[in-house]
Amino acid sequence: MTPPPKKFKNPRLRPGFQGRSCSIAALGSYLPRRVLTNADLEKMVDTSNEWILTRTGIKERRIAAPEEHTSDLAAKAALLAMQRANLAPDQIDLIILATITPDMPFPSTACMVQKKIGAFRAAAFDIQAACSGFLFALEIGQHFIMAHTVDTVLVVGAEKLSTIVNWKDRNTCVLFGDGAGAAILRNCPGSHGLLTTCLGSDGNKSDLICMPAGGSKCPPSAHSLASGMHYLHMDGRETFKSAVNAMHMAARDALRRCDLDISQIKCVIPHQANRRIIDAVSERLGATPAQVFTNLEKYGNTSAASVAIALDEAVQLGRIHKGDLILLIVFGAGLTWAAAVIEW
């Protein structure tokens, strides 16, 4: 009897590989309660619901309360993921948190989250890859599991972008929102889990999206405040083109590494920045609308939290089942980008 055709290639399982696989054991997400609609924005800047909807696909976004910090959003997402994984705080070995809106420049927001969830056995640190941060963090966490260094990693993407958006700049303020998503990484016998992640960066285009002031290059000053340099700045048109190219190439590379065709992917979860970017990337990949999951109409671009929130929602809605192959694709400031293939 001929064996059934091989479903996919696991690029990690090369000769001499001594490690173990790493899976997402559970997910959690948290969105602040306050909803800011396009109609609300019409009262704040010279824009219209029609413009925002047709150019971006966004209808509304969530805004955290003044007393709700990035670490609070992150801790709420983390606690839900821990509850779903039936995990006690002292079982977490490592916390990796991705954000561009930390509670403060230091110490890390990951340490704030450690305190809030009581995971006192864990080591904790932040990483920064802007909107690509969750996949960069997932890849780092995966290597700790694969190398048997630790057993349980909490990966979080969390943002309070409402604090760095210029609410008088219609070019940017309509795009972003607050939120957090969390994943528990573990070895789950019987599943290949994270099959591959293709990461990339292009520092030559670091000017396209940035916050010019507040760091060592331009410390906070009366001038930096008066000139709005402490806000997020973006060249929308160039960012759009770079995003489509980089997301498409990263996704193609990830599929190729696993000997996969896009038709074998059950669910594509792209960074939720702009409906037109998602459509252009999907079309280039040959993904059907039924394969592609979006929720940006409700939350806008939540940067490092974006794919984590979308992945959690897709699982909760029954769009992903055990054994399904899924493709995550992200893009952000840096520039940075990544694509990951996961056997669920």
Ligand X SMILES: CC(C)(COP(=O)(O)OP(=O)(O)OC[C@H]1O[C@@H](n2cnc3c(N)ncnc32)[C@H](O)[C@@H]1OP(=O)(O)O)[C@@H](O)C(=O)NCCC(=O)NCCS
Q: Using an 8 Å Cβ cutoff, are 89 and 118 in contact?
A: yes
323 vs 154: CA distance, rounded Å: 22
- Other Cβ atoms within 10 Å of 55 Cβ, number: 16
Count of residues that interact with ligand X, criterion CB under 6 A: 22
Shortest gap between Cβ of 196 and ligand X (angstroms)?
22
CA torsion 220-221-224-229 (nearest 10°) is: 10
Q: Which is nearer to ligand X, 9 or 276 (CB)?
A: 276
Please tell me whether residue 240 binds ligand X under the rule CB under 6 A: yes
Residue with tokens 């405040």: 225
- Of 91 and 166, which CB lies nearer to ligand X in the complex structure? 166
Q: How far is the CB of 323 from ligand X (least distance, A)?
A: 31
- Binding of ligand X by 295 (CB under 6 A): no
- Catalytic, 301? Answer yes
The DSSP code sequence of 223-237 is: HHHHTTTTS-EE-HH
Strands of 153-160's sheet in order across: 23-30, 178-186, 153-160, 94-98, 123-127
Distance in angstroms (rounded) separating the CA atoms of residues 61 and 253: 32
Annotated catalytic residue, options 131, 198, 258, 267:
131
The answer to whether residue 227 forms part of the interface with ligand X (CB under 6 A) is no
Whether the upstream peptide bond of residue 194 has omega within 30° of 0, thus cis, is no
Q: Residue from 23, 239, 295, 336 that binds ligand X (CB under 6 A)?
A: 239
Strands of 101-221 (E only): list them: 123-127, 153-160, 178-186, 193-201, 209-210
> What is the closest distance, in whole angstroms, from the C-beta atom of residue 310 to ligand X in the complex?
14
Residues numbered 168 to 207 that lie near ligand X (CB under 6 A) are: 170-171, 174
Q: Among residues 10, 38, 274, 301, which one is catalytic?
A: 301
Whichever of 131 and 135 has its CB closer to ligand X, that residue is: 131
Respond yes or no: is residue 271 known to be catalytic.
yes
Annotated active-site residue 210? The verdict is no
Question: Which positions touch ligand X (CB under 6 A)?
Answer: 47, 51-52, 55-56, 131, 170-171, 174, 209, 234, 236-237, 239-240, 243, 273-274, 277, 301, 331-332
**Catalytic site residues?**
131, 271, 301
